[in-house]
Structure 1
């Protein structure tokens, strides 16, 4: 149990040891977003290679611009959700044994993504997106490094759940 550890043991015996990864991806997210803002006009798009552009977008909604057309209340709603999620990821990091690397890294990445988009929402009222993948004329909704960290973290959490099921089945 994490509450029984001294502060130094919390970082050696729990997944809190992966907080450095949270910081790395949070800084990478914020630096790339500010580079886009400084280098692009809103909606400006620069082709990088076939099927991928850098395109400066502002998303006032959630994933896939869900609720983006609302009157502004969603800014604070999604900020509250991101704050709660960040607290939950931090709690789970403290409760996850250091030996469970996959789950610990997953939580650290999801924490980074939640915090990265939370910073945007609180400071600007929208999330800065710029990674634009497409096939032909069909574009995937633009996203950012924070969104990528959330996706990879969630995938690691799912992978870990399958590993846990396999371990449990083998013990039965």
Structure 2
């Protein structure tokens, strides 16, 4: 089993675990040290605040106004995607860092938000970027990892692939 992990992309799951732990740690820090809501935001830069808000939906509070079924729906999607990416990582060699890093970032972020959904019933968001009066929807480290990983996956489609000799 250890050879399987050392030789395949599963070796990169340490990065998913790191993203997960950092995300949960920051969210717990925010929940335990900040007041809830926009009125309690901490102004860091003229374009960035720290704040503590709950998101009952997904990206951009999608489906947050529903009666609670979305919690289980998004949890199921996150688990399914994470399993699928781990299967793909198992098929990749460990030295294929680009895709393995991308997959690990998505897995770590997805599981970080799943943890919130299962434990709290919502996802904790704390990053608020804005320009003038326009605020980007608040987000967190898990969301950032998912987005970076997803962009890497898309960019991989544009990378030139070396032709592999037929077996």
TM beyond 0.5? yes
Q: What TM-score, normalized by structure 1, do the two folds share?
A: 0.90
SS in 1 for 2:124: strand
How many residue pairs were aligned? 162
1:57-100 superposed Cα distances (whole Å, 9 cap, x missing partner): 10000100000001111111111111111211221211122221
1:20 to 14, 20, 24: 14
Q: 2: distance between equivalents of 1:104 and 1:168?
A: 17
Match of 1:38 in 2: 32
Match of 1:9 in 2: 3
Q: 2: distance between equivalents of 1:168 and 1:53?
A: 44
1:40-73 superposed Cα distances (whole Å, 9 cap, x missing partner): 1211211111100001110000100000001111
Q: What TM-score, normalized by structure 2, do the two folds share?
A: 0.92
Deviation at 1:168, TM superposition (A): 6.0
Q: 2: distance between equivalents of 1:66 and 1:135?
A: 22
SS in 1 for 2:35: coil
Q: 1: distance between equivalents of 2:162 and 2:13?
A: 28
Match of 2:78 in 1: 82
Match of 1:102 in 2: 98
Match of 1:71 in 2: 67
Gaps of 5+ in 2: none
Deviation at 1:113, TM superposition (A): 0.5
Q: 2: distance between equivalents of 1:78 and 1:117?
A: 9
Name the structure where helix makes up a greater proportion of residues.
1
1:15-54 superposed Cα distances (whole Å, 9 cap, x missing partner): 1111111111111000000000001121121111110000
Match of 1:3 in 2: none
1:29 to 23, 26, 29: 23
Gaps of 5+ in 1: 1-6
